[in-house]
Amino acid sequence: MVEILELDVSTGFSDKAVLGNGFSYLKHLYSLNACNCQTFILESDTFKNTPNLTQVYFNHCSPRVYSEKHEEFSKLMKLKVLQLNGWLSYTPDLDEDELLALIAGLSNTTIEILKMHYLFNSFYSVSLSNILNNISVVLNKTLIQELHFTNNLNVHFNELDMPVKVPPSLRTLNISDNSLEALKLNIKQVTSLHLEDNRLGNYLANNSLWIQNSKLEYVNLSNNSSYKLHTTIFIGQKYLRVIDLRFNILIDSNFDMSSLVNLHILDLKNNKIKYLSDQSRMELDKVFKNNGNAKIDLSNNPLQCSCFTLPFLNWMRLSQKHFINYTQFRCTFENGSFSKPNSFEEVLLNLQRDCTNHLYLIISVSFSVLAFIAVLSAVIYRHRWKLRYLFYTAKLKYTSHRNMEENLNEYVYDAFISYSENDCKFVIGDCIKHLERNGNMKLCIHQRDFIPGEEITQNIISAIQNSRKTICIISRSFLESYYCMFEFNMTRMESVHSRNGKNVLFLVFYEKLLPEELPLVLYELIQKQSYSEYPNDEHGNVIFWDKLKMPLHTFRPRGYH
């Protein structure tokens, strides 16, 4: 008696049905798993011989729809679970229209769980709002309970997009690991929400996620590079029981908690919290008052034991029943050492004594150090360009010979210049002058060197692959340009996939930008590698152009132009 069947087959464009007449004898077959098939053609009668299927899985498989009737799943009146798990590859297995055509066949089924993973990973970005709102319309009258749409690299949500809506019966929404940088939700009946592994950090610092109150009981915002949360993010969410904020870079939790009357667990593990501010402690006291069993987890945070944090540590001691693994906390002393487990009370007593005895000494030393730092900073700032000039002059003499050994003939260009049209004057006037004419470099400039008639994306990829380096001229207009950011991201991919991890990206900040103005991926990149700022200064310009030539300079055979 066959109940579960796994198929490892590609249907291609064969006229033979994969689930032929013989399958009609498998009366007890309820689960079908089609895996590792390059193509699986779905037609209106594909499942006519397997009407009892309740679970259908496409794993690492590319289902295709060519029928205009959209009845591929209409024969599966007992269907409960459908999973579409595409290939993790450079090109998507489904486009947006094909996916919506597939989902259209579910409108009259008993679908309860719909899972969609790894469907959109190509150059072409698709709208999360458009996809999920169309799915919501199709499944509006079904009894669907769970919707999972995850692991898509090229799904976006713009702040002007319509809020994401879901069918009224939905209780679990999972849109994790989609590289989302913004999101707005209209999910009144959903009780469990998964948003982990996205890039919502900057957005959550300045926006709320919801347009109305909901019945959310669980929300997962872990691993979103969140450094703070908007004060009103949980206003009105009175049903919330669990808030998961693990693996972020939060330094505090001072969002409004007045609505969290049913909160049971606030998970703040693996953040950057050294202490909680007065405001945060006041908000948490409200939660503890409403729910005597509420818990907060601060495990694996660099909690600081110092005179400054003594009020926070005293508060923890008084509220210890609300802290998960309280006795296992290890805090960091000012000298970098750690306290022993199960020694919190002893540490607290020692701190209270030391802080009282040395208060005046600490104040006087602190003022002296601050005065010294202020004077030193003023001197360095006044002579900053002279110091840079001396440093880079010495460095050039020591390191320039190392860049003479690379073979020039491997690439057509020394560098591809990625820039916004608003910065054209700088590139045409200054870059060509200093790098090509004076520096004997060969540059790829899109206005001059792109092939007419070719697609823009093809020209960009060709320029990156035929250039030893890509120089991005970062400005506000650069960040606002779709193709500039495309060039930036394609160069990052070139480093990882084609150059064996060798960095081929060189960043030049043409304008001074604040950290919050930068996309998260760019902000993370400049934390890991060096970059240059265009100084527009007499001494600074000399250093700037010499520094820019260093990664591009190669030994050229006689007669090279």
pTM as predicted: 0.62
Residue with tokens 């064996």: 500
Grade residue 384 by pLDDT with cuts at 50, 70 and 90.
Answer: low
Specify the 3-state DSSP secondary structure of 96: helix
Contact between 183 and 149 (Cβ < 8 Å): no
CATH 3.40.50.10140 residue ranges for the chain = 406-549
**Lowest pLDDT segment from 5-9, 73-77, 360-364, 407-411:** 407-411
CATH 3.80.10.10 segments of the chain: 1-179
State the burial class of residue 129 (Cβ atoms within 10 Å of its Cβ: 0-12, 13-18, 19+).
buried
Q: Which of 54-58, 144-148, 419-423, 537-541 has the highest mean pLDDT?
A: 144-148
Tokens of 447: 């206005």
What is the spatial distance between Cα 273 and Cα 245, in angstroms, rounded to a whole number? 12
Within 10 angstroms of residue 56's Cβ, the number of other Cβ atoms is: 22
**Residue 461's pLDDT band (cuts 50, 70, 90):** confident
When pLDDT is averaged across residues 483-493 and rounded to a whole number, the result is: 87
Q: Tell me the chain's radius of gyration from C-alpha atoms.
A: 30
Whole-number pLDDT of residue 253? 93
CA angle 60, 62, 64 (to 5 degrees): 160
Handedness of CA 111, 112, 117, 120 (dihedral sign): positive
More confident residue, 295 or 46: 295
Structure tokens at 444: 């790829």
Could you give the 3-state DSSP secondary structure of residue 150?
A: strand
| β-strands 242-244, 505-509 pairing | unpaired
> How far is the C-alpha of 110 from the C-alpha of 195, rounded, in Å?
26
Model confidence band, residue 557 (pLDDT cutoffs 50, 70, 90): very low
pLDDT band at 50 (very low <50, low <70, confident <90, very high): confident
CA-to-CA distance for 439 and 424, rounded, in angstroms? 19
Q: Which CATH architecture has domain 1-179?
A: Alpha-Beta Horseshoe (3.80)
Residue 361: which residues within 8 A CB-CB, separation 6 or more?
A: none
Quick check: 230 and 203 in contact, CB under 8 A? no
Q: What is residue 300's predicted lDDT score, i.e. its pLDDT?
A: 92
Q: Which DSSP state fits 436?
A: I
| Structure-block tokens of residue 59 | 């794993």
Q: How confident is the model at residue 88 (pLDDT cuts 50, 70, 90)?
A: low
- Considering the domain 406-549 in this protein, what is its CATH number? 3.40.50.10140
Q: Which of 264, 227, 269 is nearest to 246 (CA)?
A: 269
Chain centroid to CA 554: how far?
A: 36
- 319, 288 in Cβ contact below 8 A? yes
Res. 391: pLDDT tops 60 = no
How far is C-alpha 117 from the chain's CA centre? 17
CA distance 129 to 135: 10
Q: Tell me which of 9 and 356 has the higher pLDDT.
A: 356
- The rounded mean pLDDT for the chain is 84
For range 210-238, the mean pLDDT: 93
DSSP calls for 1-38: ---EEEE----TT-SS-SS-GGGGG-TT--EEEEES-S
HEC sequence for 48-82? CCCCCCCEEEEECCCEEECCCCCCCCCCCCCCCEE
3-class state of residue 250 by DSSP:
coil
| Spatial CA neighbour of 196 closest among 164, 169, 218 | 218
For residue 362, is pLDDT > 90? no
Q: What pLDDT, in 10s, does the model give residues 94-143?
A: 778 888 888 888 988 999 999 999 888 776 788 999 999 999 999 999 99
pLDDT at 400: 42
Place of tokens 């069918």: 167
DSSP annotation of 339 reads P
- Left, alpha or beta for 500 (phi > 0: left; psi -120 to 50: alpha)? left
